[in-house]
């Protein structure tokens, strides 16, 4: 069995919500005590593996913790618990050069680029600073990266606001590829683009994966994109992993009620009129999640056990599901 490229074990991260000055003053006046700080556990005991050359889709509603997982893996923020292992070495112990093998493509192509630098200089900067190639080879190296990403070299002399959203996202992908990564984390890279441009960027990512043997963690709300691009899919809800398995199987035959609800809510192109079926109920507050299974207030199959005891992620055939009453 091939050793995993990336291994995530019991990963957790919480953020403390500090009370405002007004809330502190009001509490001191009325109770004589400072208000209690509330904590949001954005990522709650997540574990999964990613193989070499594999693409894993990470899906779930907004606020479920997908982007936090991405930032933990890239080292942009540090976990409160758990371990991230890359090629057998923990992320905390990795040298800076080895960390460059994990790169990220951000959702907002304009916000992720420096508005004061020419686009070509932004790609070249990382290559020079980290000595990816000798200085004499830099020009040819960048030309190859631009060609792979379908970028007109003329655009390299422009600033981010002078090119389209699709072109900016191609530069974002080029910036990640310039570091010669093995793993690229794509945080909703097509969400801010027009539909026609989305298809171009998706096809670009698929081609680069084939040609360069890249591994992907692909974060998206679009289940059809995940089905097209990913080998496996992991479903998150309120910071927890609730189902993971083969992408085609999970999306066509979900075993967790929440995964099934996500599929029902996804738009489809059909000849007949389709009624949009949204997931019933409101998302519980992450500051005060429900007891037991976090999905139980919105689940039609919830039992007393679901309301009192949180289910463990357990093997269910070829996939893992965290549910007391799987479909």
For residue 294, being part of any structural domain is answered with yes
Distance (Å, whole) CA 201 – CA 166:
8
For residue 35, being part of any structural domain is answered with yes
* Greater pLDDT, 96 or 166: 166
Q: So what's the pLDDT on residue 274? A: 60
Q: So what's the pLDDT on residue 62? A: 87
Q: So what's the pLDDT on residue 183? A: 96
For residue 313, being part of any structural domain is answered with yes
Q: Which CATH number covers residue 224? A: 3.40.50.300
Task: Find the radius of gyration of the CA atoms of the chain.
Answer: 22
For residue 19, being part of any structural domain is answered with yes
**Residue range 184-208, pLDDT digits in tens:** 999 998 887 888 888 888 999 999 9
| φ and ψ at residue 81, rounded to 5 degrees | -150, 165
284, 294 contact by CB (below 8 A): yes
For residue 295, being part of any structural domain is answered with yes
CA distances from 208 to 20, 83, 104, 201 (A): 47, 29, 14, 10
Q: So what's the pLDDT on residue 193? A: 80
| φ and ψ at residue 21, rounded to 5 degrees | -60, -35
Distance (Å, whole) CA 36 – CA 20:
12
For residue 137, being part of any structural domain is answered with no
**Residue range 120-161, pLDDT digits in tens:** 999 999 999 999 999 999 999 999 999 999 999 999 999 999
pTM over 0.85: yes
For residue 116, being part of any structural domain is answered with no
Distance (Å, whole) CA 61 – CA 186:
16
Q: So what's the pLDDT on residue 33? A: 83
The total of structural domains in the chain comes to 1
For residue 185, being part of any structural domain is answered with yes
Domain holding 307, by residue range, is: 6-101+181-321
Closest CA to 146 of 177, 118, 115, 117: 177
**Residue range 227-286, pLDDT digits in tens:** 989 999 999 999 999 999 999 999 999 999 999 988 887 766 665 656 656 677 778 888
């Amino acid at each position: 069995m091939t050793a995993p490229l990336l291994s995530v074990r019991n990963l957790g991260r919480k953020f403390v919500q500090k009370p405002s000055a007004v809330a502190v003053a009001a509490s001191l006046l009325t109770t004589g005590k400072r208000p209690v700080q509330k904590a949001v556990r954005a990522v709650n005991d997540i574990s999964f593996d990613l193989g070499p050359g594999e693409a894993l889709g990470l899906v779930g509603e907004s606020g479920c913790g997908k982007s936090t997982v991405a930032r933990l893996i890239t080292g942009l923020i540090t976990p409160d618990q758990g371990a991230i292992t890359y090629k057998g070495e923990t992320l905390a112990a990795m040298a800076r050069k080895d960390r460059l093998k994990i790169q990220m493509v951000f959702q907002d192509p304009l916000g992720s680029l420096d508005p004061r630098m020419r686009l070509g200089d932004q790609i070249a900067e990382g290559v020079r600073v980290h000595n990816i190639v000798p200085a004499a080879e830099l020009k040819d190296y960048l030309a190859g990266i631009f060609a792979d990403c379908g970028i007109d070299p003329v655009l390299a002399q422009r600033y981010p606001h002078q090119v389209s959203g699709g072109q900016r996202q191609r530069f974002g992908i080029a910036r990640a590829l310039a570091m010669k990564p093995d793993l690229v984390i794509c945080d909703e890279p097509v969400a801010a683009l027009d539909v026609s441009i989305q298809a171009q960027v998706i096809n670009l990512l698929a081609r680069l994966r084939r040609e360069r043997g890249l591994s992907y963690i692909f974060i998206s709300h679009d289940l059809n994109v995940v089905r097209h691009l990913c080998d496996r899919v992991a479903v998150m809800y309120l910071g927890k992993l609730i189902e993971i398995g083969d992408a085609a199987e999970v999306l066509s035959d979900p075993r967790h009620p929440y995964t099934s609800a996500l599929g029902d809510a996804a738009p489809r192109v059909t000849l007949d009129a389709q009624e949009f079926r949204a997931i019933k109920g409101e998302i519980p507050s992450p500051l005060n999640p429900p007891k037991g299974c976090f999905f139980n207030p919105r689940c039609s199959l919830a039992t007393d056990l679901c309301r009192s005891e949180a289910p463990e992620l357990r093997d269910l055939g070829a996939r893992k599901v965290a549910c007391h009453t799987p479909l």
